[in-house]
Chain A
Amino acid sequence: MPHTDMSEREQLSARLEQANRQLLQSEKMAAIGQLAAGVAHEINNPVGYVYSNLQSLETYLGDLFRLTDAIDSADSVADLQSIKRNIDYDFIRTDLGDLLAESREGIERVRKIIAAMKDFSYVEDEAFKLANLHQGIETTLNVVNNELKYKAEVVRDFGDLPDIECILSQLNQVVMNLLVNAAHAIEGFGRITIRTRQDNDQVILEVEDNGKGIAEEHLTRIFEPFFTTKPVGKGTGLGLSLSFNIIEKHNGRMDVHSTPGQGTCFRISLPVRQPATEDKP
């Protein structure tokens, strides 16, 4: 009977869909687990020294209060001076500045990691909308202008683009990461070219620099979370993996071509329209 046939098929496809959802969920959990292990390590370092510095700060404050409390109780200035020598006042005074600056640096790093983590998770309320990519690029250039202007001349090689269906703030973030990376790769003063064009139902965005390039053995690793060649404290190694994630979410592609000593080009292609999601009619 065709009727039962139909309902069996429906049941089957419902089960398949559920299995798919579970698979997706477990993949997501695995990715989160991996990320969490990496993040714990990255965060424990700055938290480690900030926490330690707070303990030192407590000791310093105890010593300083010993001095200020003595103002009322000391018999003579000489007594105060002897306490001051005793607590190694000069050392505390110079070290406090370093202690605070280093701790601030640590907190800043944690903040950056947490901010990046947020972007890894799907933010539901940010919807795909038709937007002008060139406008996004200009906004981003304004934001990073300070980092770029002493490092490179920025060349815009823009084609005609239709509005594309995207989450523009996230694409801006990708462009920002690429621009900052390009600037970091340039020793002295160089050139960064931003190129756009349409290719059928895709738009292509390229960010090219004439910086130091990427070593062959690093090419396969640059999209890994926490992979960085920058000095400790300077790069978290999240920029590209984050960007990769965003482009993936947009059903796009990102690849890289690089020649050590000559430069690097990151190339992104994005669909003009997002493919219809299954739950839409």
Chain B
Amino acid sequence: MIGMISYLAFFSTMAAIFAIAVLGLNLHWGYTGLFNGGVVAFFGAGAYGTMILGGRADATVLGGFGLPFLVALAGGVVLAGMLAWIVGLLTVRLRHDYLAISTFGVAIAFESLTRNAEWLTGGARGLRGFPRPFEAAVGNNFVYGLLFLAFVLLVLVLVYIGLERLVRSPFGRALRAIREDETAARSLGKNPTRLRLTSFVIGSMIMGVAGGLYVSFYAFVSPQDLAPILTFQIWAMLIVGGAGNNRGAILGAFLIWAAWTASGFLLARHAPVAMQIYTGSIQYILIGSVIVGMLLWRPQGLLPERLETSAGPDRTRPAGTNTTATTNKGVT
């Protein structure tokens, strides 16, 4: 019984952490129409930032400053935000592809850094040892697991409420306006570049929060935790739940994480021994198929965006200058 509950707590903690990252992505893709191809880098910046600032001292690396948990987390979040700000500054004013490509590039560069900068990130070994908040005070592992879950859920709720307010504020309406019709929004005196940049940075910082919670949960981080598949998982969560709908984003996180864990469990159990080293590939194909399938057959997700103005991200946009080729009915 206790085993079951503590497994459920573990599962829910992970799903809730991912849900926070998905909420960040929703601000990018769902509400602003920005494509973030490197979610893992911003998640990772939060994770490594928190770990370096709050981790236990370790002679082999620069970090391990042992700062209080919330300070370390804030540091990780700021790091994620700064990374987003630099990339965004260079790319959000350009055609949408540039942001997609640059964020993809950030993820690759970030991975090389974590694998190679041993003095900072511990290289492939990763960083280990994080004084988990209040762990000493609680003592009991089982109770602590539940408490940590409650804490993560609290953060999730706070992020959710914050985002709901944000997207209903004039700022959020302006974001949707530029997403739907940039020219019109510009003529109303909105500054699309600034709005996009702000949204990009805020969304990435939310991913940073998720990363920070992740390391404080595991008290460990290595390049393996930040494999490119994480980006795909978070996308799948958003597209399944429903882009442009924060509740959908949370629902998607729990669903996909359940499907991922279940498929991993089933494959480990039932796949032939010879296939065991390929179970990862099978799961990746499943994630890829979920993404492509949703885009093809149900792009609005399970819980569609509830909006006065539009049916979903970039679905009702009139043919703009960049999309002439793609919206032409001749391409059939």
Partners in one complex: no
